[in-house]
């Protein structure tokens, strides 16, 4: 049983036909490799490990590996394909753990592993995938093992930090941005780094793309935060206010809370009251959404993401004007302005 084929459209905006064709062909190879790499020694382990792989996904991280490898002299290296599998399998493992932490029932439109089996199976399957990604990383050499270990440390630390409030005197927004950088930015940074490194790019290009990946990866999550408030369900396919219902801090809510604390406006006092914890009443969710959509914090959050995207694009000036650079710039723009 093989996993679901990669999506017909690429998760990154690529307008050059030749580049897009190369990436699609190589993503098909990555998909086949992924299916083999998550196979266990027993049918039970294989079924559990393939569960979320088969559910699909944008495969954004391995695609970024392939795109970044185009900045080097040998993007068709087998090591690039291995690196693409490493980052996607690491990401998949984190999803199994996330669903347990969030008590999620669905993932990518399918039952989560913890809902289909139980928490123990989901946790151990995530561990299996992390172990498999480590096995693959060892094929790439000692330095790649170090990079993967450092990335995994940041990812897990970000997950831990998400479960605890900011320390006394710590800025809640800075705490949240650290969580996002660890949970999301770190692995996307490594995706870009691995692509450049194993594609044969210079060290200067590798460092620039790693920094680009961290910024864009974090900005992608922050734009999700904005969509959770600003979007209509029909526009984005998301249910607005999900984070409000779960009491999850986000970029716009943290910015709104900071502004509301020093405001004398009764509407701000009400918004601050609503944002003090999870909102279980549907009417209060709608009230909070209306207040947030009208609050200057929404524009402040958008401006922050746009500025981060511009910062990421500036790092690409080290690259020549090619379809690869254009695609990377377009992705940064998409992150800043996306509606779904």
Is the same domain home to 316 and 171?
A: no
In this prediction, residues 260-287 reach a mean pLDDT of 93
Residue 272's pLDDT is: 94
Average pLDDT, the chain: 88
Q: What percent of the chain has pLDDT over 90?
A: 67
Could you tell me if 119 and 104 are in contact, meaning their C-beta atoms sit under 8 angstroms apart? no
Q: What percent of the chain has pLDDT over 70?
A: 89
Q: Is the pLDDT of residue 6 over 50?
A: no
Question: Which residues constitute the domain of residue 175?
Answer: 16-201
Is the same domain home to 158 and 304?
A: no
Residue 46's pLDDT is: 83
- Which one of 150, 166, 201 terminates a domain? 201
Residue 1's pLDDT is: 44
Three-point CA angle 205, 223, 315, nearest 5°? 15
The CA distance from 53 to 4, in Å, is 7
Is the same domain home to 81 and 145?
A: yes
Is the same domain home to 212 and 184?
A: no
Cα-based distances in Å from 107 to 74, 102, 119, 237: 36, 11, 14, 14
Is the same domain home to 211 and 162?
A: no
Is the same domain home to 237 and 301?
A: yes
Burial of 259 (0-12, 13-18, 19+ CB in 10 A): middle
Residue 101's pLDDT is: 64
In this prediction, residues 101-123 reach a mean pLDDT of 64
Asked if the structure places residue 11 within a domain, the reply is no
Is the same domain home to 143 and 209?
A: no
Is the same domain home to 208 and 196?
A: no
- Which one of 175, 201, 227 terminates a domain? 201
Asked if the structure places residue 10 within a domain, the reply is no
Asked if the structure places residue 43 within a domain, the reply is yes
DSSP of 263-284 = ---HHHHHHHHHTTS----HHH
Is the same domain home to 229 and 185?
A: no
CATH value at residue 188: 1.10.600.10
Three-class DSSP category at 4: coil
Could you tell me if 184 and 217 are in contact, meaning their C-beta atoms sit under 8 angstroms apart? yes
In this prediction, residues 258-281 reach a mean pLDDT of 92
In this prediction, residues 180-200 reach a mean pLDDT of 97
Residue 229's pLDDT is: 92
**Which two three-digit tokens encode residue 334?**
């998409």
Is the same domain home to 170 and 212?
A: no
Least confident of 19-23, 121-125, 225-229, 333-337: 121-125
CA 78, distance to chain mean position in Å, is 25
Q: Count up the domains in the chain and report the number.
A: 2
Is the same domain home to 41 and 165?
A: yes
The more confident residue out of 312 and 164 is 312
- Which one of 141, 172, 201 terminates a domain? 201
Residue 103's pLDDT is: 57
Asked if the structure places residue 85 within a domain, the reply is yes
**N-terminal to C-terminal alpha carbon distance within the chain:** 31
Is the same domain home to 299 and 221?
A: yes
Q: pLDDT band at 109, cuts 50/70/90?
A: low
Residue 110's pLDDT is: 62
Per-residue pLDDT tens digits for 205-246: 999 999 999 999 999 999 999 998 988 764 544 578 888 988
């Amino acid at each position: 049983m093989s996993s679901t084929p990669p999506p017909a459209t690429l998760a990154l905006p690529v307008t050059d036909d030749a580049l897009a064709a190369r990436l699609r062909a190589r993503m098909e190879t990555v998909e086949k490799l992924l299916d083999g790499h998550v196979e266990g020694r027993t049918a039970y382990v294989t079924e559990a490990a393939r569960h979320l792989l088969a559910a699909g996904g944008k495969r954004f991280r391995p695609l970024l590996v392939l795109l970044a490898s185009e900045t080097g002299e040998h993007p068709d290296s087998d090591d690039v394909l291995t690196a693409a599998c490493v980052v996607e399998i690491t990401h998949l493992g984190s999803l199994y753990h996330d669903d347990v932490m969030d008590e999620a029932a669905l993932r990518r439109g399918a039952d989560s592993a913890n809902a289909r089996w139980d928490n123990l199976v989901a946790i151990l399957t995530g561990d299996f995938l992390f172990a498999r990604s480590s096995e693959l990383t060892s094929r790439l050499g000692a330095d790649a093992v170090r990079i993967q270990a450092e990335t995994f440390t940041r990812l897990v630390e970000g997950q831990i930090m998400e479960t605890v409030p900011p320390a006394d005197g710590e800025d809640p927004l800075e705490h949240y941005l650290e969580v996002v950088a660890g949970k999301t930015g770190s692995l996307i940074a490594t995706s870009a780094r691995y692509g450049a490194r194993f594609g044969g790019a210079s060290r200067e290009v590798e460092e620039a793309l790693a920094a680009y990946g961290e910024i864009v990866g974090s900005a992608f999550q922050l734009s999700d935060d904005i969509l959770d408030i600003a979007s209509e369900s029909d526009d984005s396919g998301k249910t607005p206010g999900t984070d409000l219902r779960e009491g999850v801090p986000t970029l716009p809510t943290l910015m709104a809370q900071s502004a509301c604390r020093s405001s004398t406006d009764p509407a701000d006092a009400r918004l601050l009251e609503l944002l003090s914890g999870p909102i279980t009443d549907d009417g209060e969710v709608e009230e909070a959404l209306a207040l947030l959509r009208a609050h200057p914090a929404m524009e402040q959050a958008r401006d922050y993401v746009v500025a981060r995207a511009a910062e990421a694009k500036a790092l690409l000036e080290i690259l020549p004007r090619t379809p690869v650079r254009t695609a990377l710039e377009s992705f940064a723009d998409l992150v800043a302005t996306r509606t779904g």
